[in-house]
Amino acid sequence: MRKKSKFKHSVYLLAALAMLLYALPKLSFQNGPGWVLGFGVVWCIFAFMVIASHLHFIIGVDEEKQKRLDAVRKAKLAQWQGKWNEEGRVSQRS
């Protein structure tokens, strides 16, 4: 499952890079400050954020953090199930 997910993110990364490389020559940064320049800058920032997020996932920077979060989720689920089972026993006694 992990390899399939990394492949998917690799494809999305390549698509974002291709869009950025295609769009950069077409964006106008020479007309001075204005709406056109603002749009070009914001569009490039969003494209770089998409690229960075996919690289972050592919490199696996947060694998240890993800393992810790999974452990916390499991502990919370066990705690919730324990409370739910305890409430069920109390309501059955009443």
Query: What single-letter DSSP state applies at residue 34?
Result: S
Residue 74 is encoded by which pair of tokens?
């499991």
pLDDT tens readout for residues 67-92: 888 899 999 998 888 877 776 665 66
Question: CA 38 to CA 10: how far, in whole Å?
Answer: 29
DSSP state of 62: T
List, for residues 3-12, the tens digit of each pLDDT value.
777 889 899 9
pLDDT (0 to 100) of residue 1? 47
